[in-house]
Amino acid sequence: MKVLVPVKRVIDYNVKARVKADNTDVDLTNVKMAMNPFCEIAVEEAVRLKEKGTATEIVVVSIGSKSCHEQLRTALALGADRAIHIDTELNLGSLQVAKLLSKVVEEEQPELVILGKQSIDADNNQTGQMLAALTNRPQGTFASEVVVEDNKVAVTREVDGGLQTVSLNLPAIVTTDLRLNEPRYASLPNIMKAKRKPLDVKVAADMGLELSSKINLLKVEEPSQREGGVMVESVDELLEKLRNEAKVIA
């Protein structure tokens, strides 16, 4: 079984994002970049399926500039077999990303596509669902457990009321939630081996798709600063502040 795992390059989650002085976008100058945490979970799940003997090949794919090679090599070091880079300098929206991924799915014909439920930069939570619609494949989103058996995949997903398990016929699309697994660290020998694994480059403009985004970014602003809390000495003082300062009680 071939497993395809899309991964995205984002600002490292430990780094505080800065806004450009002209408020046009987030400032990425000299900022540490990393693989999107949900994508790391997707790679780990694919590697675990291969270790169980369920998966035979893991292909990772990333869309963006040449800098994506860093994250692809990381995925290869974690256990992926080969990588595909779709080269573009465009700032793509979820739909355009899903269209490009659908082309990769058409060419690679993976039985299972595992991707993070969302990226921590755009936070849209759309690409997996759009990819399922474009490829006409069943989808299991927000997966906290994935079991592949008898040409089906059982996905336990987190919903408002608890847990829901759905059974999907392969080929299928699965998006990962935080509690699915804990990603491993790449060992030094595997990092060295990853440098010799195949990494193919495709040009997005040559894939015959309309990639212009329908969404325009107008302005980026820092969130407003929260004021510090106030300690009160008594219930009476608390009630007085709620009544006269916060004005939330009469």
Per-residue pLDDT of the chain (250 residues; tens, 9 = 90+): 999 999 999 999 888 888 888 888 888 888 899 999 999 999 999 999 999 999 999 999 999 999 999 999 999 999 999 999 999 988 898 999 999 999 999 999 999 999 999 999 888 899 999 999 999 999 999 999 999 998 999 999 988 888 999 999 999 999 999 999 999 999 999 999 999 999 999 999 999 898 888 888 888 888 888 878 888 899 999 998 889 888 888 7
Side chain identity at residue 41, one-letter code = I
Domain count, the chain: 1
The CATH number assigned to the domain holding 56 equals 3.40.50.620
Asked, for residue 42, whether it belongs to a domain, the answer is yes
Q: Which two tokens stand for residue 113?
A: 């596509």
pLDDT of residue 109: 96
CB neighbour list of residue 233: distance below 8 Å, 6 or more residues apart: none
Asked, for residue 170, whether it belongs to a domain, the answer is yes
Asked, for residue 250, whether it belongs to a domain, the answer is no
pLDDT of residue 53: 93
DSSP string, the chain: -EEEEE--EEE-TTSPPEE-TTSSSEE-TT--EEE-HHHHHHHHHHHHHHHTTS-SEEEEEEEESGGGHHHHHHHHHHT-SEEEEEE--S---HHHHHHHHHHHHHHH--SEEEEES--TTT----HHHHHHHHHT--EEEEEEEEEEETTEEEEEEEETTEEEEEEEESSEEEEE-GGG--PPPPPHHHHHHHTTS-EEEEEGGGG------S-------PPPPPPPP---SSHHHHHHHHHHTS----
For 166, phi then psi, to 5°, come to -120, 145
Asked, for residue 43, whether it belongs to a domain, the answer is yes
pLDDT of residue 225: 81
CA distances from 151 to 54, 148, 169, 170, 225 (A): 10, 7, 6, 6, 52
Beta-strand relationship, 9-11 and 33-35: antiparallel
Asked, for residue 249, whether it belongs to a domain, the answer is no
Instruction: Tell me how far apart the alpha carbons of residues 161 and 200 are, in angstroms, rounded to a whole number.
Output: 43
pLDDT of residue 192: 94
Residue range of the domain that includes 101: 2-244
